[in-house]
Amino acid sequence: MPHRSRNAVVLLTAIVSLASPSLAAAQALAPATSTRTLSRYHRDDAASVTRIRINATHVGDTPLSPFTMGNFLEHLGQLVDRTLGANLLINPNLERTDPGEAMPPYWDDAGAAAWREDGGYQSPDCVRLSAPDGTLSQRLYLPVQRERRYTLTFFTRGSGQVTAAIHAGDDLQGPAVVQTPLTVAGTDWRKQTVHWTIPAGALAAGQRARFALAHAGGGPVDVDWVRLMPDDAVDGMDPDVLRLARAWDIPVLRMAGNFESQYHWRDGVGPLYGRPTQRNAAWGGPESNQFGTDEFLDLCRRIGAAPQIGANAGNGTADEAAAWVRYCNGKREQVPIWEIGNELYGGWQIGHTDAPGNAARFVAFRDAMLQADPHIKLIATGKGDETSPGGLQRDRDWNLAVLHAAAGNNGRVPDWLSIHPLVGLPGGMRDTPYAQEWQSAMAHPAFLDQTEIPQLRDQITSVEGPNARTRIAPTEWGIIIGGRGWEDGPNHNVEAGAVYNALALNTFLRNGDWVTLANATALLHGGDIAKDHGVAFVTPEYYAEQLYARAAPRLAVETDWSGPGADVPARGGLPAATDVPDVDIFSALTQDRKALVVFAVNRSLNDSKPVSVSLAGFPAGPASATILTAADPQVSNSWDHPDNVAPRPFPVPPGDSRAGWTVTLPPHALVVFTFTRR
């Protein structure tokens, strides 16, 4: 797996090294044949069939970047510890994050159990278990479907006896599946290690259990740093989650988000037991700092992704960011992409600022970080979250401020300008019929295609000229939770989210000479990889992104299509879009030109759509196809039904594709056609 990661970094360097360090030395990057002009839709509401004409002899001059298929990871609450982490116990070092808490978050007490603030094991606090029956416990799910062996470690101080046990069921009244008595003696902290094998049939997959440490006699016993690991854990990570992430073919993985604006990287490096547990100021609850820089880089190596890190430009400093660059890249270049700030325009963001403030921070951070490593690529915090006319003007003012500041004194402009075109649903459409909410959500990628991306391109070239270096990076995108009732409408957990993601990826690829990096929301939240009842599974969005990544589109080809469409009005905070095609198309060759892939998305909620495909300039053999859809767009996967929505083979007509053939796309479906060269 490290070999794959090195390849990802080499590929990234090849893609972005065309850019020079200043405007004065900029070379022509805008291709003679724009990727966007190769895809042309002609609306024809009278047509009964969408006709697709592909000319593979006419290709774009700039290769499509695989980094449009990127993803991102954030410490959103305890999500990293719960999902990626293999430790089955949350808040292992028993710290509190609020002075009003009586016991450590996520832990329950019974009998004579008390929190002590006179020093834990390399941490401020611990819990004292005393007679009678002082007990500390936590509910958990053991992944017995794959592993029955577990290792418990914890630290003790005192003179007495404790019993460690796992009980079946939600409380301590359930039978003990395994238990071990321990005698504690000594005033110094000592590490205890217990190895357990869960008896076959004692617990079922997805069955609740409760871990407990109970006082069993003698004097008081202090306990701290309690960890329970399945023996198949991989460097502290869940092997099932690693397997799913590796199979996703993620080319670049971002570590950032709201958490970034309050994160001080030194808290997450060094020995695990010495790292502080703190309140997650962005999302609440305890942050154990068990997953820090080195763990993130290890994850990237294991899944073959190039690392992308967001520096804290909220309450952090430029010197702190530069030191982080040196930590990562001092001996060898491990992190090629660095993002300066996250959504610094938002009042929800720690350390948020105005447009001049963001511009000044970018310049200060840029100068310090490039001094630490002049080879890194930088992302400036852009703004692309508003869609009203006034909001688009605010976006423009923000973006122009940072672009002008970066270019001042012949400075190095950013390699990318970030935007976060997230769709919060239901937003202002809580009482809107489902069909209208669906239509507005699925038209949003068309707004990006028709309005937002062209305006961003114009903003960049207005500052940097026609040979602009800066490109566009949607470093967070997708449908997110937008208030009460979100589960009733299109959302990231259901098949509707996969349809939206396919439409967005088509948009990014159509604009592939400008959109060269994108990070879907997200690896562990907002869809994608989930864990529930101790079982890892994936959402429909995962499969949509995997289909695009595995198809490996690299050279856009000329594609004309005509068919019915619609004008979609503005609703509930989502923008209007005109001439939105019922069937959305993007076509490309693979890098070796041995395969042609066509991504066809039927955005219609209820209607099947016939499509006619004709192909020129590519001597194709028989085609194959894969479909992602469901009987209902609100169908989701779950821990006990993980395959409700999954890719399936899709039948295509036999015969010569050059002569054309017709297939019918089911409603709300993604179909990926693959033509191989004869």
Task: Please tell me the distance from the alpha carbon of residue 11 to that of residue 521, in angstroms, as a whole number.
Answer: 23
Give the pLDDT score at 242: 98
Residue that has been written with the tokens 């993130």 in this structure: 296
Give the pLDDT score at 99: 80
The DSSP secondary-structure symbol of 614 reads E
Give the pLDDT score at 578: 98
Residue that has been written with the tokens 């595995």 in this structure: 550
Residues above pLDDT 70, as percent of the chain:
94
Task: Please tell me the distance from the alpha carbon of residue 639 to that of residue 81, in angstroms, as a whole number.
Answer: 18
Question: How do 208-230 and 135-141 pair as beta strands?
Answer: antiparallel
The total number of residues written for the chain in this structure: 678
Give the Å distances, CA to CA, from 647 to 61, 434, 644.
Answer: 32, 25, 10
Give the pLDDT score at 22: 34
pLDDT band at 489 (very low <50, low <70, confident <90, very high): very high
Q: Is the pLDDT of residue 577 over 90?
A: yes
Give the pLDDT score at 606: 98
Q: Residue 239: beta bridge partners? A: none
Are 293 and 265 contacting, i.e. CB atoms less than 8 angstroms apart? Answer: yes
| Mean pLDDT score, 119-141 | 95
Our CA angle for 550, 552, 555, nearest 5°, is 165
The beta strands (E) that lie in 117-148 are given as 126-129, 135-141
pLDDT band at 658 (very low <50, low <70, confident <90, very high): low
Are 201 and 127 contacting, i.e. CB atoms less than 8 angstroms apart? Answer: no
Q: Is the pLDDT of residue 271 over 90?
A: yes
Give the pLDDT score at 130: 97
Phi-psi category of residue 655: left, alpha or beta, with phi > 0 → left and psi -120 to 50 → alpha: left
| Mean pLDDT score, 8-25 | 40
Task: Please tell me the distance from the alpha carbon of residue 253 to that of residue 67, in angstroms, as a whole number.
Answer: 9
Give the pLDDT score at 514: 98
pLDDT band at 528 (very low <50, low <70, confident <90, very high): very high
Q: Is the pLDDT of residue 307 over 70?
A: yes
CB atoms within 10 A of CB 69: 27
Task: Please tell me the distance from the alpha carbon of residue 123 to that of residue 274, in angstroms, as a whole number.
Answer: 7
Biggest CA-to-CA distance, the chain: 87
| Mean pLDDT score, 654-671 | 86
Give the pLDDT score at 657: 63
Residues above pLDDT 90, as percent of the chain:
89
Task: Please tell me the distance from the alpha carbon of residue 639 to that of residue 653, in angstroms, as a whole number.
Answer: 36
Residue that has been written with the tokens 């207005």 in this structure: 462
Residue in 56, 52, 58 with CA at minimum distance from that of residue 617: 56
- In sequence order, what DSSP letters do the residues of 41-65 get, joined into one string? EEE-TT-SSEEEEEEEEEE-SSPPP
What ranges in 141-203 are assigned the alpha helix state H? none
What's the alpha-carbon Rg for the chain, to the nearest Å? 27
Residue that has been written with the tokens 């949509």 in this structure: 544
Cis check for the bond before 426: say yes or no (omega within 30 of 0): yes
CB within 8 Å of 164: residues ≥ 6 apart = 152, 154, 179, 180, 182, 192, 194, 211, 212, 213
Task: Please tell me the distance from the alpha carbon of residue 623 to that of residue 676, in angstroms, as a whole number.
Answer: 7
Phi-psi category of residue 563: left, alpha or beta, with phi > 0 → left and psi -120 to 50 → alpha: left
What type of residue sits at position 536? A
| Mean pLDDT score, 466-489 | 97
Give the pLDDT score at 6: 42
Task: Please tell me the distance from the alpha carbon of residue 411 to that of residue 501, in angstroms, as a whole number.
Answer: 36
Give the pLDDT score at 33: 61
102-111, 264-273, 406-415, 437-446 — which is least confidently predicted? 102-111
CB within 8 Å of 614: residues ≥ 6 apart = 51, 52, 53, 54, 657, 658, 659, 660
Phi, psi of 118 (to 5 degrees): -110, 25
Per-residue model confidence as pLDDT tens digits over 626-636: 999 999 999 99
| Mean pLDDT score, 438-447 | 99
Q: Is the pLDDT of residue 303 over 80?
A: yes
Phi-psi category of residue 478: left, alpha or beta, with phi > 0 → left and psi -120 to 50 → alpha: left
9-18, 26-35, 274-283 — which is least confidently predicted? 9-18
For residue 542, the SS3 value is helix
Task: Please tell me the distance from the alpha carbon of residue 76 to that of residue 657, in angstroms, as a whole number.
Answer: 47
Give the pLDDT score at 487: 96
Q: Is the pLDDT of residue 9 over 70?
A: no
| Mean pLDDT score, 498-519 | 99
Per-residue model confidence as pLDDT tens digits over 336-393: 999 999 999 999 999 999 999 999 999 999 999 999 999 999 999 999 999 999 999 9
All structural domains of the chain: 27-63+556-676 (2.60.40.1180), 66-84+234-524 (3.20.20.80), 108-230 (2.60.120.260)
- The sign of the torsion formed by the CA atoms of 587, 590, 596, 597 equals negative
pLDDT band at 31 (very low <50, low <70, confident <90, very high): very low
Give the pLDDT score at 15: 42
Q: Is the pLDDT of residue 537 over 80?
A: yes
pLDDT band at 656 (very low <50, low <70, confident <90, very high): low
Phi-psi category of residue 206: left, alpha or beta, with phi > 0 → left and psi -120 to 50 → alpha: left
Give me the numbers of helices (H) and strands (E) for the chain, helices first please. Answer: 12, 33
Task: Please tell me the distance from the alpha carbon of residue 269 to that of residue 436, in angstroms, as a whole number.
Answer: 48
Are 652 and 661 contacting, i.e. CB atoms less than 8 angstroms apart? Answer: yes
CB within 8 Å of 105: residues ≥ 6 apart = 90, 91, 96, 97, 285, 286
Give the pLDDT score at 2: 37
Provide the CA 197 distance to its chain's centre, in angstroms: 35
Q: Is the pLDDT of residue 29 over 60?
A: no
Give the pLDDT score at 653: 87
For residue 436, the SS3 value is helix
Task: Please tell me the distance from the alpha carbon of residue 241 to that of residue 235, in angstroms, as a whole number.
Answer: 13
| Residue 29 structure tokens | 């990057």
Are 297 and 307 contacting, i.e. CB atoms less than 8 angstroms apart? Answer: yes
* Average pLDDT taken over every residue of the chain: 93
Are 553 and 502 contacting, i.e. CB atoms less than 8 angstroms apart? Answer: no
Task: Please tell me the distance from the alpha carbon of residue 212 to that of residue 136, in angstroms, as a whole number.
Answer: 6
CB atoms within 10 A of CB 360: 15
| Mean pLDDT score, 518-527 | 94
Give the pLDDT score at 333: 81
pLDDT band at 659 (very low <50, low <70, confident <90, very high): low
pLDDT band at 97 (very low <50, low <70, confident <90, very high): confident
CB atoms within 10 A of CB 145: 15
Per-residue model confidence as pLDDT tens digits over 152-195: 999 999 999 999 999 999 999 999 999 999 999 999 999 999 99
Q: Between residues 182 and 20, which one has the greater pLDDT?
A: 182
Residue in 562, 578, 561 with CA at minimum distance from that of residue 570: 578
Question: How do 565-568 and 577-581 pair as beta strands?
Answer: antiparallel
| Mean pLDDT score, 24-53 | 76
The DSSP secondary-structure symbol of 576 reads P
